[in-house]
Every structure is written in C-alpha cells, then in structure tokens.
Amino acid sequence: MAAADQQRGDLLQASGLPEMDDRQFACWASLLERRTGMTMPPERKSFLVTSVGLRMREVGFQDYDAYYRHLQSGVAGNLEWAALVDRLTVHETRFFRDPAAVQYVADTALPERIDHGQDELSLWSVGCSTGEEVYTLAMSVADGLARHGSTARFGVTGTDISLQALSVGRSGVYPARRLRDIPQTAQAAFCEPVPGQNHFRIKAGLRRRVCFAQMNVLNVHQARRLPMDIIYCQNLLIYFDWARRQAIVDGLAQHLRPGGLLILGAGELVRGHPEQLERVTDAGDVLAFRRPTQ
Ligand SMILES: C[S@@+](CC[C@H](N)C(=O)[O-])C[C@H]1O[C@@H](n2cnc3c(N)ncnc32)[C@H](O)[C@@H]1O
C-alpha cells in the first residue's frame, strides 16, 4: 500500500490538482468512512486527493466542495458515488494468493463435510475484488470433490462494494500473465485462451458455479441469510478500525451454518475473540474460526 501511495503522491504533484485544505480533507475522509467504513489517516491524504481530484476533473468539477455536494444529490449523486468508490478502494488481488488457506479448505474443511455426507456446499468470498479469490476457491473445491469422488454440488458467491471490480469477476477474463499464479493442473482443467488476445478465460463449467453481487460489508447484518459452509474474508478488514472489524466479523458469523468456517487473512486477527465462534486450533498458520454445532 505504501508504494502505491507514494506513486499517488508523485502523480498528485504532476497533476496540477487543486490543494485540498484540512477542512475539506476531514469532510471527504468522514464521507468515505460513513459510506464504506474505510479509515483514511492523514498519511493517505495524497491517495485521497489524487483519487477524488482526477475523477472530479473527469466529470467536469473544478473544486472539491462542489463535487462533494454533487455526490449528495439524489440519483445522479449515487451513480457518481459508485464510480468514485472504484477509485478509492484498493483492488489488489491474485489467484491462489494465500496457498495455506486454500489448501486448508481443500484438504481439511472439504473432506470433513464430504465425510458427514453433505451434498451441497456454499462458500462466500467477502471483498472479492475482481474475482480471482472466487475462482481460486471454486477451482480448489471442484478439484477436491473430484479427488474424493464426491458428487456434491457447490457454489461460490463473491461480493464487493466495487461494481467495476465485480464486472471483471463476472466476465472471468484475465490477462495471460496472471496464469502463472494458477497451478498447472488447475490451468489445464479450468482455463482456456481467449483467441486473438493475450488473455485467458475461466471455463464455462466453473463460471456456472460462481456468482457475484454488490454488497457493502457494513450492511452485513441486514444481508439475507443463506447459511454458508465457508466464509472467506481476506485483506478487507485491514481497511477498518477495530470496532468495525469486530462488528463485521460478528455479522459474518451470523451467516455461517453450525460447523461453518470463517477464514480470515493471517495476521488479520480482530482484537477480541469473535463472539459466537471458536478458534480452529489445528489449522496451522491459517486463521480460521468455527461456528459451534450447538
Ligand atoms: C485488497 S482487495 C482484497 C481482495 C481479495 N479478498 C484478496 O484478498 O485478494 C479489498 C477489496 O475490498 C473491497 N471493499 C472495500 N470496502 C468495502 C466495503 N465496505 N464493502 C465491501 N467491499 C469493500 C474493495 O473494493 C476491494 O475489492
């Protein structure tokens, strides 16, 4: 994040964008926190100014206050907010980003469920960005089920606040260089070249197992409950303060079926222990919590 912010700082100097004074920065940071939960400390001011400033100029506003007022103005403001959020969120991700956690799902969580005779599995990637995490989970589960000779059905849902990121996920098309993150066997089974382009596509069979929807994780308590076997939430909580992290984790726990797992990124521990969950102690470095069965 620091290198990206430095680049933004350099870009800001070169861009000739107007100065954002302290009052304006406080207003923008507060708007962002209210609507997305993300905290914007002063050291990330150049990131905020560049993101807001460049978008503001694209849509024809010359000053931050006028653009801020526009964002509060009904339907047009809401549409513009959706576009701005894409600029203000960090979408960095990759296939098989956390191999240990993926392996834990495939080698432990999945066989446990198959052994219990479960014939349907639901997984959820929260803050899924452009979909690499969703397809990683789908590839691992499809492969694990095949290895265990199981005919269980499964689905992976990806949610994110960014519509633009979700549309990439829905397309299932990625630059060819991203293939190197995917194990060879999974490349052969689940990926195909896009003719005439330096891109590959996730094969239709796997794309049918996933779906994408917009959801602000701050609203997790209001989201419809479809009991999940595994909720995967990585590299999202880091953007929130401790109280919000705790509230989000407690909200996610409500969506787990008894015995279901919440898997966070290593080192993303919330301060207190998630209320309704118990820590999985045999998962090595993987930060996993289970909803007790009773
Ligand atoms: C750094 S990416 C993490 C992607 C993926 N989980 C991974 O670990 O590779 C963080 C994602 O969280 C999303 N995000 C940020 N605030 C959010 C919110 N309030 N609700 C839902 N998604 C949010 C961003 O749009 C971004 O795509």
- 31, 40, 89: which to mutate for ligand 1, most atoms within 8 A of CB? 89
Calculate how far, in angstroms, residue 146's C-alpha sits from the geometric centre of ligand 1.
30
What is the per-residue pLDDT for 273?
72
- 161, 174, 216, 218: which to mutate for ligand 1, most atoms within 8 A of CB? 161
What is the per-residue pLDDT for 267?
79
What is the per-residue pLDDT for 268?
82
Q: What tens-digit pLDDT sequence spans the chain (294 residues)?
A: 556 666 666 666 656 789 999 999 999 999 999 999 989 999 989 999 999 999 999 999 999 999 999 999 889 999 999 999 999 999 999 999 999 999 999 999 999 999 998 999 999 999 999 999 999 999 999 999 999 999 999 999 999 999 999 999 999 999 999 999 999 999 999 999 999 999 999 999 999 999 999 999 999 998 888 899 999 999 999 999 888 999 999 999 999 999 999 999 987 866 767 778 999 988 999 999 999 987
Atom 11 in ligand 1: residue holding the nearest Cα: 127
Calculate how far, in angstroms, residue 91's C-alpha sits from the geometric centre of ligand 1.
6
Calculate how far, in angstroms, residue 84's C-alpha sits from the geometric centre of ligand 1.
15
What is the per-residue pLDDT for 224?
85
Q: What's the rounded Cα separation, in Å, for the pair 286 and 232?
A: 11
**What are the beta bridge partners of residue 192?**
201
Helices (H), 116-200: 132-147, 163-171, 184-190
Contact between residue 280 and residue 264 where contact means Cβ atoms under 8 Å apart = no
- Helix or strand (DSSP H, E) at 293: none
Q: What's the rounded Cα separation, in Å, for the pair 201 and 193?
A: 6
- For the Cβ of 120 lying below 6 angstroms from any atom of ligand 1, the answer is no
Contact between residue 2 and residue 41 where contact means Cβ atoms under 8 Å apart = no
Among candidate residues 119, 116, 132, the one with its CA nearest the CA of residue 232: 132
Among candidate residues 231, 250, 232, 234, the one with its CA nearest the CA of residue 242: 250
- For the Cβ of 217 lying below 6 angstroms from any atom of ligand 1, the answer is yes
What is the per-residue pLDDT for 276?
86
- For the Cβ of 97 lying below 6 angstroms from any atom of ligand 1, the answer is yes
- For the Cβ of 164 lying below 6 angstroms from any atom of ligand 1, the answer is no
Q: What's the rounded Cα separation, in Å, for the pair 166 and 171?
A: 9
CATH number of 99-290: 3.40.50.150
CA 147, 151, 152, 156 torsion-angle sign: positive
- 34, 159, 236: which to mutate for ligand 1, most atoms within 8 A of CB? 236
- For the Cβ of 235 lying below 6 angstroms from any atom of ligand 1, the answer is yes
- For the Cβ of 90 lying below 6 angstroms from any atom of ligand 1, the answer is yes
Contact between residue 76 and residue 114 where contact means Cβ atoms under 8 Å apart = no
Calculate how far, in angstroms, residue 235's C-alpha sits from the geometric centre of ligand 1.
7
Calculate how far, in angstroms, residue 51's C-alpha sits from the geometric centre of ligand 1.
17
- For the Cβ of 35 lying below 6 angstroms from any atom of ligand 1, the answer is no
Q: What's the rounded Cα separation, in Å, for the pair 259 and 112?
A: 10
Q: Can you give the residue ranges of every domain in the chain? A: 2-88, 99-290
Contact between residue 156 and residue 207 where contact means Cβ atoms under 8 Å apart = no
Atom 5 in ligand 1: residue holding the nearest Cα: 128
Architecture of the structural domain at 2-88 = Orthogonal Bundle (1.10)
